Amino acid sequence: MRAHRVLIPTLALFAAGSLPAAGRAQPAPGETAGRVIPSSAIGLKQSFAPVVKRAAPAVVNISSKRLVRQQADPFWQLFGMGAPRNRIEGSLGSGVIVRSDGVIVTNSHVVADGQEITVALADRREFPAKVLLADARTDLAILKIDLPAGEKLPVMAINDRTDSQVGDLVLAIGDPFGVGQTVTNGIISALNRTADPNGGAAAYIQTDAAINPGNSGGALVDMDGALIGVNSFILSQSGTSSGVGFAIPAAVVRRVVETATGGGRAVVRPWLGARLQSVTPELAKSMGLPRPSGALVADVWPNGAAARGGLKQGDVVTSVDGGPVVDAASLNYAVANHRPGEAVRVGVRRAGAEQALTVHAEAAPATPARDERLIAGRNPFAGATVVNLSPAVAEEVGLDPFGRAGVMVLKTAAGPAQQVGLQAGDIIRAVNGRDIKSVSDLTSAVVTPAPVWQFTIERNGREVTATVRT
């Protein structure tokens, strides 16, 4: 039975503060400064309660309601009965107050499509919340509640330094299964985990602190009581905690919070402008590399950041900003975590020699222009919102920016597009024998009704041709 990634409906994590001085041993030779293990049974009995008391007021509960269309049973539809009905779906989650005026961070999947969002503070007061920004790629959402005049809420500081280490103690505070606020403890099990269920570059913090349904969107906190991550998903065979949970790093959280509070409606992710391939043991052996680590530059976007910074096809990127590059995902994550315009120091192995290069973080090019439109009329695409596929759009939705240009379906509403089975992410390649390379091509191809429509779409790398009669 294999383990599954589970996006947890509700989740909150917090960490304890430093152990009191009593019971601490002096650092032994080779120990990391400031990190010691208990030296006696007395040390093991000491409490995390002071840090929990400090952190708990900044943890909130979040409930979200959305209206969904429930399809009727096909059996009863045969007799003209059982029309589709609307019903209310709800989700529960946790969040962390990151600004005293009521700015809160949580998971995007907690509030996805929410039409009514309520935040319950630690003192049990409830406030309606609005979404400032929701970013499915990072699974983060930023909420805002309106407070009585002059009131300031308790805040959890964001620690986006990179000094966390495997073995550091952490605590989790949340509301698992709706039983009420609960504290669990554990350690950082691993850093820079790149397995991402949302399809983006990431470097998750892995922890064995118990995370269960009811905790999503909560905080992973270090021994100084600061936020080091927001919990997003678990790996589990049962759907409950098996000690393998993953948190979105605080550096990503800060970027999303800054974007939302600065008025941004979308997170701009800098792009290296290179197609990357992780160095496998086979690649390392064939290239004469000392170890299977790094990211091979397989292609370079013309006049992109990588090209202007001097990166070339065949280079192996071994470090970024002084830290090692484990694989392609870790390099993409490191670059995406910069602000546009910032310099990124890159270590490269080229022809057996090490070189240091500097590239500047910049957004992926939006060429061709986005040209987002809702298709109308009597055609199979009516009800679909489409957009020109560019590196910027590909990065936004998690596709290969080096893929072919075309027209991508962003979403579908009730209508012909849904009836013929079009899905978000489909790329429209041809309509009635005409190649579709832009939104203008598509709108021209469907302007005149036809008795028969034949079209080709690309889905998950495979092309499918369908014929529809009207």
448 lies in which domain range? Answer: 373-469
Going by pLDDT thresholds of 50, 70 and 90, the confidence category of residue 23 is very low
Work out the average pLDDT over 67-74: 57
Give the pLDDT mean for 311-327: 92
Report the chain's mean pLDDT, rounded to a whole number.
84
Q: Report yes or no on 312 lying in a domain.
A: yes
Query: Is-contact 413 383, C-beta < 8 A?
Result: yes
Whether the predicted pLDDT of 48 surpasses 70: yes
Of 11-20, 226-235, 284-293, 314-323, minimum mean pLDDT range: 11-20
Q: Which two tokens stand for residue 32?
A: 């990391």
What Rg value do the Cα atoms of the chain yield, rounded?
25
pLDDT at 216 over 60: yes
Split at pLDDT 50, 70, 90, the class of 241 is confident
pLDDT at 14: 34
Q: Is the pLDDT of residue 69 over 70?
A: no
Tell me, what CATH number does 115's domain have? 2.40.10.120
Residues 378 and 328 in one domain: no
Of 305, 338, 360, which one is at a domain's C-terminal end? Answer: 360
**Based on the domain organization, do 124 and 235 belong to the same domain?**
yes
Q: Is-contact 424 353, C-beta < 8 A?
A: no
Find the mean pLDDT for residues 364-379.
92
One DSSP character per residue, 289-352 reads: -SSS-SEEEEEE-TTSHHHHHT--TT-EEEEETTEE--SHHHHHHHHHTSPTT-EEEEEEEETT
344 in Cβ contact with 361 (< 8 Å): yes
Position 368 in a domain: no
- E-strand ranges in 325-365 read 343-350, 353-360
State what percent of residues in the chain have pLDDT above 70: 84
The pLDDT of 198-204, averaged and rounded, is 63
- Report the 10 Å Cβ neighbour count for 257: 21
- The mean pLDDT of 264-277, rounded to a whole number, is 88
Q: Work out the number of other CB atoms within 10 angstroms of the CB of residue 284.
A: 17
Strand segments, DSSP code E, in 149-293 are: 169-174, 182-193, 204-207, 219-221, 227-236, 245-249, 274-278
Say yes or no to pLDDT of 308 above 90. Answer: yes
45 & 93 share domain: yes
Residue at a domain's end among 219, 247, 267: 267
* Assigned token pair, 58: 């900044």
- Say yes or no: 258 and 278 in one domain: no
337 and 411 share one domain: no
Opening angle at CA 23, ends 17 and 27, nearest 5 = 85
Query: Which pLDDT band, with edges at 50, 70 and 90, does 319 fall under?
Result: very high
pLDDT category, 356, cuts 50, 70, 90?
very high
**What DSSP letter does each residue of 127-171 carry, written as one string?**
EEEEEEEEETTTTEEEEEE---TT-----PPB---S---TT-EEE
pLDDT for the residue 88: 63
Q: Measuring CA to CA, which residue among 362, 341, 321, 365 is closest to residue 203?
A: 321
Residue 18's pLDDT band (cuts 50, 70, 90)? very low
Among 254-263, 294-303, 394-403, the range scoring the smallest mean pLDDT is 394-403
Query: Distance between CA 389 and CA 461 in Å, rounded?
Result: 15
pLDDT confidence of residue 339: 86
Q: Is the same domain home to 337 and 382?
A: no
Identity of the residue numbered 52 = V
CB 305 within 8 A of CB 373: no
Is residue 106 very low, low, confident or very high in pLDDT (cuts 50, 70, 90)? very high
The span from the CA of 291 to the CA of 282, in Å, is 10
Report the pLDDT value the prediction gives residue 233, as an integer from 0 to 100: 87
Q: Given the structure tokens 């013309």, which residue do they identify?
A: 302
DSSP 8-class letter at 26: P
Reply yes or no on whether the pLDDT at 244 is more than 50.
yes
Among 250, 267, 284, the domain-final residue is 267
175 and 238 fall within a common domain: yes
Q: What is the reported pLDDT for 2?
A: 45
Asked whether residue 365 is assigned to any structural domain, the reply reads no
CB 59 within 8 A of CB 94: yes
Collapsed DSSP state (helix, strand, coil) of residue 41? helix
Same domain, 29 and 81: yes
- Out of 102-116, 182-196, 264-278, 410-424, pick the least confident: 182-196
Whether the pLDDT of residue 38 is over 80: the answer is: no
CB 354 within 8 A of CB 340: no
Residue 200's pLDDT is what? 53
Name the residue with higher pLDDT: 58 or 460: 58
Active-site residue set: 109, 139, 216
Whether pLDDT at 221 is above 80:
yes
Residue 392 sits in the same domain as residue 337:
no
Does 366 fall in a domain?
no
pLDDT score recorded for residue 92:
84
pLDDT at 10 over 60: no
Q: Identify the pLDDT of residue 405.
A: 84
For 85, the enclosing helix (H) or strand (E) is strand 85-99
Please indicate, yes or no, if residue 252 is contained in any of the structural domains.
yes
* 36-40, 62-66, 215-219: segment of lowest average pLDDT: 36-40
Inform me whether the pLDDT recorded for 260 exceeds 50. Answer: yes
Query: Do 262 and 289 belong together in one domain?
Result: no
pLDDT number for residue 156: 94
| CATH number for the domain that contains residue 388 | 2.30.42.10
Query: For residues 237 and 164, which has the higher predicted lDDT (pLDDT)?
Result: 164
Is 317 in the same domain as 385? no
367 domain-assigned: no
Number of domains in the chain: 3
DSSP, collapsed to helix, strand or coil, labels residue 112 as: coil
Q: Tell me if 409 is assigned to some domain.
A: yes
- Mean pLDDT confidence for 402-431: 91
Q: Domain check: are 136 and 262 in the same one?
A: yes
Q: Is residue 322 part of a domain?
A: yes
- Band (pLDDT 50/70/90 cuts) for residue 84 is low
